[in-house]
Structure 1
Amino acid sequence: MTLIRTVAATAAITALATSSFGQTARDIRGASPYVTIEQEPSPRLIVDPPLAEGLSQGVFWAQYRVENLHIASVFGEGALQASPRLGHLHIIVDDLPWWWADASDNNTVDIAGFPPGPHKVTIALVDANHNLIPGQVTTVPFVIPDSAPAPHVHPVN
């Protein structure tokens, strides 16, 4: 009976290890930066809903990830030839006429100081020359509760 249990346990561990560790480094991390990627798949932006813990404080925290594009602070026409592709995010708050570029790839957009009420943040995936990647714009609506603390205002010198 002990031999049967040992064999069964070994088989279960082997199956778990094979499914968990069967992926290659390339499967998880993507292509090597040393080889040009032929027929690169289209870039994709995935944005989660904002974290409730932030909204209660007047802060927008939304995690994101990007597929088939490397976010880096490399800009300009020459960077468009890089493989794997390079790009960054453009972020717009409440349809204001300005945006900012985020090339940090830190996995979370962090914007503080929202007053209570409805807001939205638009996150766009762009190439290294600031051109929008078609279909890769996400608008995230959210509401800051009335119970959120008043935004901190920094004095201007």
Structure 2
Amino acid sequence: MTTFAKTVAIRTVAAVAASALLTTSAFAQSAREIRGPSPYEAVENEPAPRLIVDPPLPAGLAEGVFQAQYRVENLRIVPVFGAGALQVSPRIGHLHVIVDDLPWWWADASDNNTVDVAGLPPGPHKVTIQLVNADHGIFPGQVVVVPFVVPEHAGAHVGAHGSTP
């Protein structure tokens, strides 16, 4: 084997080893560490659920659309409702979404990780997101209010046929 071939072989082995090391460290956390407990086993002494909401995406606001990503900890968002579901472990629940303190809200049990509200007129607004149990009770301290402003030029959406509404 020539010196050149030996050098290429050594570099190839080093690259493969480095790649394997990086891949192994990328998977160092278990599925349980990332996703939480399996739905097939009860969780003793579950920690309190937690709601984390990011600021709205600026590109959406420019169009009159509120889009904010969220995640929850120590709770699974599922479309299961009622008092009987309060005893399920791991814990389950959903979100309530309220726009501008209106007297009505909607339940979001989709767990798609983004709250999306379209058609907002220009001006100041707020979206309130509540993390609730299966019987619609708010978990203590798990209400996030997101104030934002839709710019004056927002809302000129192009319709399906290329015209503006």
Deviations 1:36-73 (A, max 9, x none): 11121221111111111211111111111111101111
Note the 1:7-156 alignment, pairs <5 A: 8-149=14-155
Q: Secondary structure at the match of 2:43?
A: coil
For 2:80 and 2:139, the matched residues in 1 are separated by 16
For residues 146 and 152 of structure 2, the distance between their equivalents in structure 1, rounded to whole angstroms, comes to 19
Cα distance in 2 for residues equivalent to 1:14 and 1:97: 55
Task: State the superposition RMSD in angstroms.
Answer: 1.8
CA deviations 1:69-107 (Å, max 9, x no partner) are 011111111101101101000111111222221111111
SS in 1 for 2:111: coil
Q: Report % sequence identity.
A: 71
Cα distance between partner residues in 1 of 2:32 and 2:101: 38
Structure 1 unaligned residues grouped into runs of 5+: 152-157
Conserved in 2, the CA contact under 8 Å of 1:114 and 1:144?
yes
Mean Cα deviation higher: 25-34 or 53-62: 25-34
What residue identity is the alignment partner of 2:76? H
Contact 2:75 2:90 in 1 (8 A): yes
TM-score w.r.t. length of structure 1: 0.87
Higher Cα radius of gyration: 2
Aligned-partner Cα distance in 1 for 2:139–2:125: 24
Query: 1-side partners of 2:75 and 2:112: how far apart?
Result: 14
Q: Which amino acid aligns with 2:120?
A: F
- For 1:29 and 1:62, how far apart are their aligned partners in 2? 21
Q: Compare 15-24 and 44-53 and name the one that shifted more.
A: 15-24
Instruction: State the distance in 2 between where 1:33 and 1:61 align.
Output: 29
Does the 8 Å CA contact 1:80/1:128 hold for their aligned counterparts? yes
- Report the residue type matching 1:128 in the other structure: A
8 Å contact kept, 1:115–1:150: no
Structure 2: state its 5+ residue gaps: 1-5, 158-165
Aligned to 2:162: none
Total equivalences in the alignment:
151
